[in-house]
Chain A
Amino acid sequence: QKEVEQNSGPLSVPEGAIASLNCTYSDRGSQSFFWYRQYSGKSPELIMFIYSNGDKEDGRFTAQLNKASQYVSLLIRDSQPSDSATYLCAAYLGGADGLTFGKGTHLIIQP
């Protein structure tokens, strides 16, 4: 079965530290990977997408992709309390039209 796996957490990180969120996926042929942030009671908001192996940086966020290990991660530098949310990893699996989402990691940034 095609899957995207995430640790549900909660992951607690002190303010100012680096938060590291991890995700694995089952389809070796997947090419596109996405990270969304969802605040409680709100819809998901796209943070980053990554297609190539290696790192992709955007402000305080860095996405990392390792296709050989089927692993995607999201690093948040200088974590702020406003970063507290559920982070969803997503990928296109098996040629599907729609994204397959992980169950999300609940991140808590402690002031």
Chain B
Amino acid sequence: GAVVSQHPSRVICKSGTSVKIECRSLDFQATTMFWYRQFPKQSLMLMATSNEGSKATYEQGVEKDKFLINHASLTLSTLTVTSAHPEDSSFYICSARSPPDTQYFGPGTRLTVL
């Protein structure tokens, strides 16, 4: 199957700082990528859909000014958590849609905000 990478795999930061997470499709071009968040023992929650060259579409309740998404190329999408707070601590997972319609997930980034 197709490979999606994420970096970093784990990050610990102080409250108030910003954190950038990168998501790359390694062996295919992805016009659409997705960002999810998962809290312990809960299901995946879609945060936003990222389309190459256009603004991301955010799910209801997700603050677009706090979670900045950029999809500048067909292989890279970034999520920046701005002014992170302890309640933003979670497991952030990206996925990329490989033609025709299969989504492959990155390994995830575990964010801990102190």
Contacts and interface: CB of A to CB of B under 8 A. Distances in A.
A43 B49 contact: no
Contacts of A104: 43
Contact of A43 (B1, B32, B97, B106): B106
B22 to A, nearest CB: 15
Contact of B102 (A49, A88, A97, A103): A49
A97 B32 contact: yes
- The residue in B93, B97, B102, B103 that gathers the most chain A C-beta atoms within 10 A of its C-beta is B103
A98 B46 contact: yes
B108 A42 contact: yes
A109 B105 CA distance: 25
B1 A46 contact: yes
Q: How large is the interface on A (under 10, 10 to 19, 20 to 34, 35 or more residues)?
A: 20 to 34
Nearest to A6: B43
Q: How large is the interface on B (under 10, 10 to 19, 20 to 34, 35 or more residues)?
A: 20 to 34
B8 interface: no
A43 B43 contact: no
Contacts of B108: 42-43
B44 A88 contact: yes
A42 B105 CA distance: 10
Contact of B34 (A32, A98, A102): A98
4 residue pairs, one from A and one from B, having the closest CB atoms = A43-B108, A103-B43, A43-B105, A43-B93
Interface of B: 1, 32, 34, 43-44, 46, 49, 51, 57, 91, 93, 97, 101-108
